Amino acid sequence: MGAPSVVVLDYGSGNLRSAQRALERVGADVTVTDDFDAALEADGLVVPGVGAYAACMSGIRGVRGDVIVDRRLAGGRPVLGICVGMQVLFERGVEHGVETDGLGEWPGVVEELAAPVLPHMGWNTVRPPEDSVLFAGIGGERFYFVHSYGVTRWALGAEDPNRRPPAVTWTHHGQDFVSAVENGPLCATQFHPEKSGDAGATLLENWVRMV
């Protein structure tokens, strides 16, 4: 059995190569591309994101990333969002008074954090639930964040009592915000695991195992 194939979706955002290298180090066969079929057919898809919410959504739609994510999830195929790549999975984002529709995979609004210092930049702890798979083997570690916006209210419950409810991880900076989600084939982190040292590498390794 070969290494799982992972596509890092190239839609004009940054941090593509650092994500590629981090995933390769934990055993994935990684391609950085905007190719529709390759992104659809890979074992795992990573949606990165740096910068403004509206610009990221424009880039994603430009390579039909919205269709790719939707089709992959409909088929139960793993997707991992990172930073703004996590934020766009929610219903919408509000930046500088501008509202932008997101991918709508989860209910919720991405808004500016009520914090004394923004951006929230540097290392911070996280509070994962006990049943987290992403954070298996990781205890009390810090992860690297760079953002000013986030989701502060989680609105999705366990719609089907026979299915595992979403596992939501929280972090505090001025206020609590969602810093990671595990929801079936769809996972996401507000922090950058590819810049988070050994803890980030363990998290990516856990995700690659899920793929």
d(CA 189, CA 179): 6
Distance of CA 202 to the CA centre of its chain: 15
The answer to whether 166 and 181 have CB atoms below 8 angstroms apart is: yes
What is the DSSP track for 156-206?
---SSTTSPPPEEEEEEESEEEEEEEEETTEEEESS-GGGSHHHHHHHHHH
Q: Which residues contact 186 (CB under 8 A, 6 or more apart)?
A: 73, 78, 79, 81, 89, 105
Q: Given 120, 147, 173, 192, which residue is catalytic?
A: 192
Confirm whether 187 is a catalytic residue: no
Of 83, 105, 120, 187, the catalytic one is 83
56 is catalytic: no
Active site residue 83: yes
Catalytic residue among 56, 120, 173, 194: 194
| Residues with catalytic function | 83, 192, 194
